[in-house]
Amino acid sequence: MPADIRITASATITTMTTDPTSLLRLLAWLSPAFPTGGFAWSHGIEWAVEAGDVTDANGLRDWLADVLRHGSGRNDAILLRHAYRAAHDLGRLAEIADLARAAQPARERLAESIGQGNAFALAAAAWDAAPLPALAARVGDIAYPVAVGALAGAHNVAEDDAALGYLQAVAASLISAAVRLIPLGQSAGLTVLAALAPTLITVAAATRAATLDDLGGACFRADLAAMLHETQYTRLFRS
């Protein structure tokens, strides 16, 4: 297959062109219409809005860029890539799934990841969802990036496409939450998503060679937001 090379000022991604069937599957799995329940989670943004950390489109863009580069976005991309590569090794995949749950920094962040991961695994039954049923039987709850990575690997979706698509889907979901919380107009939300494109590409490229030992982060304010949201008096979202 021909290579598709995308170059930005900060990163280069080389990926094999996805065949039409795999591309359609990836678009379906990462669509806002795919029933993962993502609309119910704000990833701590609800607390950040109430605290005054995020008050407008520029603040939202900066907050999400930090989460993607230094927090859960980067970690999720690493976990997704390793789950992708272990899609046909249930023992290794189970180890990654256990690590993904243990790596969550707050109770609500754990609930968010496994809630969406479990819902993703159930909805994926419309396709051949192997190895997700076997993984669920072995470990129970499945974190969202692990579920996406394992399914993409099993269906031979290009790894780089899966990682980049996942990051974009997560960013879009959080922007949708912020549009309702700040509030922002839809046009402002789309402007934020467009502005994050270089960050999404950079994070996807930077995680390609990352090992599981590279998991970690320095996005402490977002982690604290997730913890403090647990006791926030008025809440629209579950995280």
Q: Answer yes or no: is pLDDT of 98 > 50.
A: yes
Is residue 3 over pLDDT 80?
A: no
User: Using one digit for the tens of pLDDT, what is the confidence trace for 202-236?
Assistant: 999 999 999 999 999 999 999 999 999 999 998 99
d(CA 233, CA 193): 29
| Least confident among 9-18, 21-30, 74-83, 104-113 | 9-18
Burial level of 74, CB count in 10 A (0-12/13-18/19+)?
buried
Pair of tokens at residue 188: 């402002």
For 71, the 3-state DSSP assignment is coil
Question: pLDDT tens across 136-190, in order?
Answer: 999 999 999 999 999 999 999 999 999 999 999 999 999 999 999 999 999 999 9
Q: What is the dotted CATH code of the domain comprising 33-229?
A: 1.10.4190.10
Mean pLDDT of the chain: 92
What is the arithmetic mean of pLDDT over 187-203? 98
Given this model, what pLDDT does residue 4 score?
Answer: 42
What pLDDT does 63 receive?
Answer: 98
Evaluate the omega torsion of the peptide bond into residue 32 and state whether it is cis, within 30 degrees of 0.
no
What's residue 7's pLDDT? 35
Q: Which residue from 218, 82, 222, 196 is spatially nearest to 143, judged by alpha carbons? A: 82
> How many Å apart are CA 127 and CA 32, to the nearest integer?
18
Band of pLDDT at residue 11, cut at 50, 70 and 90: low
Enter the tokens of residue 72: 């859960």
The total number of residues shown for the chain amounts to: 239
Q: From 167, 158, 162, 165, select the one nearest 199 (Cα to Cα).
A: 167
Per-residue CA distances from 131 to 103, 127, 164, 169 (Å): 22, 11, 22, 22
Q: What is the pLDDT of residue 229?
A: 96
At 97, list the tokens: 């799934």
214: which 2 tokens? 């590279």
- In this structure, which amino acid lies at residue 6? R
Domain regions of the chain by residue span = 33-229
Q: Count other C-beta atoms under 10 Å from residue 223's C-beta.
A: 19
The pair of structure tokens assigned to 24 is 């359609």
